[in-house]
Structure 1
Amino acid sequence: MKSKEIRQRFLDFYKNKSHTIVASAPIVLKDDPSLMFTNAGMNQFKEYFLGNSIPKHTRIADTQKCLRVSGKHNDLEEVGKDTYHHTMFEMLGNWSIGDYFKKEAIEWAWEFLTKELKINPNHLYVTIFEGHKEDGLEKDQEAFEIWKEIIDEKRILLGNKKDNFWEMGDQGPCGPASEIHVDIRSDEEKAKVPGKDLINQDHPQVVEIWNLVFIQFNRLASGKLQELPAKHIDTGMGFERLSMVMQGVQSNYDTDVFTPIIAEIETITGFTYGKDEATNIAIRVIADHVRAVAFAIADGQLPSNTGAGYVIRRILRRAIRYGFTFLNTNEAFIYKLVKTLVIELGEAFPEIKKQQHLCENVIQEEEISFLRTLAQGLSLLDQMIAQSKGKTLAGTKAFELYDTYGFPIDLTSLILEEKGYQLDEEEFKKALQQQKNRSKDAAASTTSDWVILREDDEEEFIGYDYLDAEVKLVKYRKITSKKEGEMYQLVFNLTPFYPEGGGQVGDKGYLKSPNGDTIYIVDTKKENNLIVHFTKQLPKQLEGVFQAFVDTKQRQRTACNHTATHLLHQALRSLLGTHVEQKGSLVRSAYLRFDFSHFSKLTDDELQQIENFVNARIQDSIPFEENRNIPYKKALEAGAIALFGEKYGDAVRTVKFGESMELCGGTHVQNTSEIWHFTITQETSVAAGIRRIEAITKDEAKNYLTQKATAFDEVKTLLNNAQDPIKALGNLQDENTLLKKEIEGLKRAQAKNLKADLKKQFQPINGVNFLAEKVDLDANGMKDLAFQLGGEVDQVFIILGAEVNGKALLTCFIDKKLAEKQGLNAGQVVRELGKFIQGGGGGQAFFATAGGKNPQGINQALQEAKSYL
């Protein structure tokens, strides 16, 4: 059975069981601070399990893109080495939000596997929760009683807390789980070792395919369990593993989920899958990782140096280095696999088809960049090996390569082994652990349980219409971290504060408590559909009515910038073409940042046209139009633009300024004239095919233009108030160019005389022409002089010293043949002599430089140089 049919059969089966089929959520999470990526099918329904929202449907099913590469669920280093772990995978799931419970979940799962898919029941085992004394939990007898009516009791096994008790995190909804495992070994293998002995033992052919979670508890910060008022079902079935079972193969990578990608890798690289294990692992790594990276990019996460972007970059670089090391790929090729992904998965996940070119461009650029890094790392590693004393490379050196240059440690070990060296692994691990501890300490935080003050109020955002309001505190909790110290999160029955979202920062402001105290709101965010207000202190009085006030100046400036992003988007599409799509934005009170798809750097003329376009609409005083509750499809039909990487509900809000119309939840001005003026401050590249514009409006634009006018006046004054300052500056530049030529001529003459003098200063020492002199030159002059002397005098060992701007410089040049013959190394020489000038340096075996802060040590360094001969 083809994988596409398996996916559709699952969705149809649960549709017939009155489940609403929903689309996969983006793989990148935006409103959940506890997770970077969607790592389970339930993530998009978390707000329902937490009780923060009332679901429109109580029975739901879908196939969800998941990514497990960080935190608790981290399978990255296993991927490729075995045949069943993945970074990105599909999870088929069905959910009950306070509707059906264990009986239906178990019976339907069994029906789907054995009746719909006709999997042999004798190949299946199930596990139930055995209980846990510390939590005061008994064996899940209810699940056991249901299962024993379906399957032989010998096939019902007890599972521990690790395997059979599912938890959302350290706190939150949780409950016992019942897993379904399949044994796809041959009859001969089954006769040797019973399948029940291999459950949860990481056997590649005895694997879990479905986890049925019975959510019935809430884990408190104290660790205690509390019964939930409503019980829920959360199931997840590994699509790739199910495909393996249904297609009668022994590996996920032998299913049609992966075989088209593997075939393309074979075609591109010339290596064949299945011949040797090193090649197999490399191909599996690349086939898996390209899916994770492409889907993350398609959902709005570009590779970067921080946060979720760093994780995506790390996954891609792991794939690149496996290709580089084991498939001899010295050129970018992984980006070519995106086309195959689109063919195979574009129907189920249309976002990968829509963003195909973006994925290809970004991946290709990342590949080219990292291949350059690998080449640089190889060169640096060669230098480290040359400078190493003995046959062991210090772990700190390897860590420097890994941490600063992104050079993989396993590749370092491999190269060292080939050259007859070894790595001090313990020292490397120590350095790595110290870095992890620093990161962990910086991010460490503790969160208390919510203190509930009232149950009957449902939070409502009123900030589109009001900037102040009377509110009541519904609940609060404390968060403690090393970075922020003690903070409190407050939730009200209603709020005028806009929570961070859609690129716009959250509102700030203050509260007036019933007793007259002032509490400052320092940030507002959305977390699992709750609007959370951050404060440095908890109100002394918790009951009663509070007066909430948004910082109106910040809100107005932010609104100006947000509206400007819409006008900018319109300008880009009108002037550059409809290929332009928004790829991200940041809207603050001081400035705006807008990322968009475009193939080339914008010219000055284009930037001026864009500025003029936006400012024309500001001058036109276009009024704000909105519709807060319009069906999503109707909004698109009306011409509204949906933004990259956002997930929309059935009803959406449209924001319109003339011909600009977008789906948007942010705050805006009532009329474009409020923006006053729009000025672009910078245009840069973010990634292949992605450009970034930064701009300012309103007060910042006024300040910027005032500063420019002031600077222009000062320039005119310096030019003696010339009537044509541009012409006066041009004359100055011409004069400056002539003077520079004269100076260069004088320097060349001086250097020629100096070279002639120095050639007379060489001292023969043990067959070597030695020169150690202090000169009046800069770093480039010293280098040129050293190379000229080296080209005109044989067997030279030259040390030059100079003082430049209060700093000391040393340059060492050694004849290449001499360096090889006598084992001399210029890099080592300047590092050792650098101590005299309180500095250091390095370079190649025949040429190196050093710098230091003690010019008085130059003479001593020059004298000491003789000791090498």
Structure 2
Amino acid sequence: MKSQDIRKSFLQFFESKGHLIVPSAPIVLKDDPTLMFNNSGMAQFKEFFLGNGTPKSKRIADTQKCLRVSGKHNDLEDVGFDTYHHTMFEMLGNWSFGDYFKKEAIAWAWEFLTEVLKLDKDRLYVSVFEGNPAENVPFDQEAFDIWKQYVSEDRIILGNKKDNFWEMGDQGPCGPCSEIHIDLRTDAERATVSGRDLVNADHPQVVEIWNNVFMEFNRKADGSLEKLPAQHVDTGMGFERLCMAMQNVTSNYDTDVFTPLIAKVEEITGLKYTPNNVILNESEESQEQNKTNIAIRVIVDHVRAVAFAIADGQLPSNTGAGYVIRRILRRAIRYGFTFLGTKEPFINKLVEVLANQMGEFFPEIKSQQQLVTNVIREEEASFLRTLEQGLQLLDKVVAETAGKEVSGEKVFELYDTFGFPKDLTALILKEKGYSFNETEFETELQKQKARSRAASEVSTDDWTFLNQGNVDSSDSEQAKQTFVGYDKTENDVKITRIRKVDSKKDGVLYQIVLDATPFYPEGGGQVGDKGTLVSANETIEIIDTKKENNLILHFAKQLPENVEAGFVAKVNTDLRTSTSKNHSATHLMHLALRTILGTHVEQKGSLVNPNYLRFDFSHFSKVTDEELRQVEAFVNARIEEQLQLVEHRNIPIQQAMEQGAMALFGEKYGDTVRMIEFGDSKELCGGIHVKNTADIWHFKIISEGAVAAGIRRIEAITGDAVKDFYKNQESTLAEIKEVLKNPQDTMKAVVALQDDNAKLKKQIEQLLKEKAKNLKGELASQIQEVNGVKFLATQVDLNPEGAKDLAYELGNNETNLFLVLATAEEGKPMLTCYVSKELVASKNLNAGQVVRELGKYIQGGGGGQPFFATAGGKNVDGIKEALEKAIQFIK
């Protein structure tokens, strides 16, 4: 079966069992602060397991795009070296929310594998949880007894907590699981060693393909377990591994999920990939082929992860999820650079293959194909330049190294500051006959990790339930919460639950849940509301509002003395009003950009807060000044038209799309949506808006620039911020006029000043050149000979450029010259060193090393070439000692 048919077969099977088939959620999570990426099939259903929402059906099936590259679930370092781990993978899953349980889940799993797909029963093994007395969790007798109906007991393996007990995190729903493993070895290998003995032993051909999780417990903050009031089923089957089993191969990379990508890499590089079932010997040729295989596996795996992340709205960057995506892509580029000899961008050429292969089921990769290609190509070009810089820096480190072992701290600095990979450094050093101190490197790496962990360390208490009895969090009716913020900025409320959160970053905060809140939680680019909770006796400040697993959380630095009291929740209306102006202006600007630049423009990110708005969008070139003026004029025209807000709440998404609403890629929409209209502007949006565009007052663009290849960013302001902007401009102009003695024509006066300045600069340059010529003869007479070297170290009254010209002038007239000149223009010390080229070879003099040593006396440093180098510093008083020490290099 082809991979597309396997996927369809799974979904059709569970549809026949009464399951609702739902689309994959985006790979990038935007409404769950506990996760960067969707790392499992269940991530999009967390709110249902936690009891904070009600699913559309009690039975659901899907295939979910997953990414495992950070945190607890991290397979990155295994990718490429084995044949069954991936960064991005598909998780086929069927779900029961308080409906069927172990009996049906096990029966259907077995039926699908053995009757629909007709996998060999003799190659299948199953595992059940053996129990954990320390946590008072018994052996899963129920699952064991059910499995005995399908397989003999010798094929049922008892698994420990690590392998057969699944947990959402340190707290929350969890339960025992029952896995299904398949043995894909040859008959001869199976006759030698039983597959049972290789289950969970990291054997590449004895792998887990399906995991049935039975959620029946809740893990509390103290580690104890309590029974959930409703039992759930969460299953996940690795799509790529299932394809391996169905296509009679022994590597995921030999399936049609990856072979088209591999074929494209072969075409681009001229190198060949050998399938996993080709036995390689220990010869040097064979080892080189193995390196090629690993590199190709890394590249075809990583391009999937990066491409789908970008298509879902996550651009590579230097922070957060963007940094993870950049790191994955750079790992792929580096493997191509080192092992496939690719010195030009090429990974972007795989996107077309991926889009053709997966675009039918995941349309986002097809519709975003050009953007994904552009972003990857630009990232490749950028990192290849970084690699070149890294090679130059590494050459410098080697030149400064005494002996044959480079400092591990220096290698870590290359890795941490310039993104230069450790293993590439090791490879290059080996070619030069060097190594580096790995212990020092690991020490620095662990220090960095410890700093990172400390900064992000968070402890969370259990929820305490109020004003509703001590109900369990899984009782969705009791835990129900209403958002009234579209209609109100004040509301009578009761606190329904609270918990304490302690983090290194923010200290102790309290999360408060209200029964009917007017506070808008951060989302869709809009920041969360701030405000107060007011009772008869006290006022509690709400410093932020966020959404987590469908719960609106209000953050406070303290709790009310009486949490059971009645409160009035009051939104800070000044901040809310300013934010709403910026949000509505964002919608108008989106329409303006599509009207003026073209309908290829799509929103790729936004930030809306009380102070300004930021809008990222797809566009292939810089927006010209004239185009920006047109965008401003377009938005301000809509403001002047006084367009009334038209709001459609809870309308079917299909109806909204038919009416022309803009939907954003990478966003997760429900069956019903909210549509916001201002004239021709129609967007799906959950944010807060003005009632009439006239409320925005005025719109002003502050900046425009590139964020990534094919992505531009505009920052703009509205309302009072525009008034303040023009006041500041007026004040600045008044100050300029005063400095210029209040000329009648300010612009003419500025141009005249610029012309005068340019003339004076030319005169100064000419004077300095003449001064340097006069100095040349004076300094030539001061040169002395030391050990066969013509030597001079002195301070000159020139700027650094003049000192450089003077050094070259003297160097052209003298042989065997070792010259150090010091300058101190505007109190900034600078050392300039010139070494005749014949001395570089005969005396082993290196100008770069000289200025690095002498630079210490002026509290600075620098570098350059062996015959010419400079060093800047900040201690003018150190010049004298630096010049005195210079002679030691030739004594």
1:551 corresponds in structure 2 to: 572
**1:764 CA displacement:** 2.1
Equivalences for residues 118-157 of structure 1 within 5 A: 118-157=118-157
The equivalent of 2:366 in structure 1 is: 353
d(CA) in 2 for partners of 1:801, 1:726: 41
Helix, strand or coil: the match of 2:511? strand
Match of 1:108 in 2: 108
* Aligned-residue offset at 1:131: 0.3
Map 1:705-784; keep pairs closer than 5 Å: 705-784=726-805
Q: Distance in 2 between matches of 1:677 and 1:756?
A: 66
Deviation by residue 1:506-558 (Cα, 9 ceiling, x = unmatched): 000001134x1110000000001000000000111011311110000000000
Q: Quote the residue 1:21 is aligned against.
A: 21
Question: Which amino acid is the alignment partner of residue 286 of structure 1?
Answer: I
Measured in 2, the distance between the counterparts of 1:37 and 1:788 equals 61
Choose 278-287 or 598-607, whichever is displaced more. Answer: 598-607
- CA distance in 1 between partners of 2:219 and 2:837 (Å): 70
- Coordinate RMSD, CA, aligned: 1.0
Distance 1:734 1:839, change over 3 A: closer
Quote the residue 1:501 is aligned against. 523
Q: How does 1:220-619 map to 2 (within 5 A)?
A: 220-274=220-274, 276-453=289-466, 454=468, 455=471, 456=478, 458-514=480-536, 516-619=537-640
How far off its partner does 1:745 sit? 1.5
Give deviations 1:231-263, integer Å, cap 9, x for gaps. Answer: 000000000000000000010000000000000
Distance 1:576 1:781 in 2: 49
Task: Pick which of 54-63 and 802-811 moved more.
Answer: 802-811
In structure 2, the residue matched to 1:211 is 211
Task: Give yes or no for contact 2:129–2:161 (8 Å, CA) kept in 1.
Answer: yes
CA positional deviation for 1:197: 0.3
Do the aligned residues in 1 keep the contact of 2:822 with 2:832 (CA within 8 Å)? yes
Rounded to whole Å, the distance in 1 between the matches of 2:827 and 2:503 is: 44
Tell me the number of residue pairs that the alignment of Structure 1 and Structure 2 aligns. 868
SS at structure 2 position matched to 1:185: coil
| Residue 852 of structure 2: aligned partner | 831
User: Which residue does 2:39 correspond to in 1?
Assistant: 39
Counterparts of 1:168-187 in structure 2, within 5 Å, are 168-187=168-187
Give, in angstroms, the shift of residue 457 of structure 1: 5.3
Correspondence for 1:649 among 667, 670, 673: 670
CA distance in 1, matches of 2:875, 2:603: 53
Once the two structures are overlaid, the 10-residue window that deviates more, 446-455 or 191-200, is 446-455
SS in 1 for 2:313: coil
Partner Cα separation in structure 1 for residue 76 and residue 805 of structure 2:
50
Secondary structure at 2:543's aligned position in 1? strand
Q: Give the Cα separation in 1 of the matches to 2:209 and 2:858.
A: 66
- Write out the 4+ residue segments of structure 1 that deviate beyond 3 Å after TM superposition: none
Q: Offset at 1:765?
A: 2.1
One-letter amino acid matched to 2:296: I
Question: Which residue of 679, 698, 718 corresponds with 2:719?
Answer: 698
Matched, 1:659 2:680: yes
Deviation of 1:826 (Å)? 1.6
Q: Structure 1 CA distance, aligned partners of 2:109 and 2:885?
A: 81
Question: CA separation in 2, counterparts of 1:807 and 1:733?
Answer: 26
Which shifted more, 669-678 or 848-857?
A: 848-857
C-alpha contact (below 8 Å) 1:282/1:323 kept by paired residues: yes
Query: Contact 2:768/2:802 (CA < 8 Å) preserved in 1?
Result: no
CA distance in structure 1 between the aligned counterparts of 2:682 and 2:560, rounded to whole angstroms: 42
Deviation at 1:807? 2.7
2:823 alignment partner, SS class: strand
Q: Distance in 2 between matches of 1:610 and 1:727?
A: 30
Deviations 1:332-353 (A, max 9, x none): 0000000000011001100100
Q: Give the drift of 1:753.
A: 1.5
Matching residue's letter, 1:469: N
- 1:769: Cα distance to partner? 1.7
Paired with 2:822 and 2:765, the residues of 1 have a C-alpha distance of 21
Q: Deviations over 1:363-399 (max 9, x none)?
A: 0000000000000000000000010011110011001
Give, in angstroms, the shift of residue 847 of structure 1.
Answer: 2.0
Letter in 2 for 1:795: N
SS of the equivalent of 1:646 reads coil
| More displaced stretch, 144-153 vs 787-796 | 787-796
Kept in 2: contact 1:557–1:590 (CA 8 A)? yes
Aligned position for 1:845 = 866
Q: Distance in 2 between matches of 1:457 and 1:294?
A: 38
Instruction: Tell me the distance in 1 between the aligned counterparts of 2:758 and 2:590.
Output: 43
User: Could you tell me how far apart the structure 1 residues matched to 2:489 and 2:833 are?
Assistant: 68
Whole-Å Cα distance in 2 between the matches of residues 786 and 22 of structure 1? Answer: 73
CA contact (8 A) 1:513 1:541 kept: no
Distance between the aligned counterparts of 1:53 and 1:457, measured in 2?
9
Provide the C-alpha distance between the structure 1 equivalents of 2:500 and 2:881, rounded to a whole number of angstroms: 61
Question: Letter of the aligned partner of 1:823 in structure 2?
Answer: N
Counterpart contact for 2:768–2:798, Cα < 8 Å: no
The Cα offsets for residues 783-841 of structure 1, whole Å up to 9 and x where unpaired, read as 22222322232221110011122232111111223112221122221222223323333
1:601-633 superposed Cα distances (whole Å, 9 cap, x missing partner): 111111111111111111111111110111111
Distance 2:118 2:419 in 1: 49
* Match of residue 474 from structure 2: none
Do 2:52 and 2:479's aligned partners in 1 also have CA atoms closer than 8 Å?
Answer: no
CA distance in 1, matches of 2:674, 2:36: 26
How many Å apart are 1:718 and its aligned residue? 2.6
State the distance in 2 between where 1:538 and 1:326 align.
58
1:206-233: CA deviations, max 9, x gaps?
0000000000000000000010000000
Q: For residue 181 of structure 1, give the secondary structure of its aligned residue in structure 2.
A: strand
Aligned to 2:563, the other structure's residue is in SS state coil
CA contact (8 A) 1:584 1:644 kept: no
CA distance in 1, matches of 2:836, 2:825: 26
Distance (Å, rounded) in 2 between the aligned partners of 1:788 and 1:464: 75
Q: Give the match's secondary structure for 1:621.
A: coil
Q: Aligned residue for 1:66?
A: 66
Query: How far apart are residue 856 of structure 1 and its match?
Result: 2.3
| Cα deviation 1:273-321 (Å, max 9, x = unaligned) | 0161000000000000000000000001000000000000000000000
Residues 446-479 of structure 1, C-alpha deviation per residue, up to 9 Å, x if partnerless? 0000011125352000000000000001001000
Match of 2:283 in 1: none
CA contact (8 A) 2:313 2:665 kept: yes
SS of 2:42's equivalent in the other structure is helix
Compare 811-820 and 471-480 and name the one that shifted more.
811-820
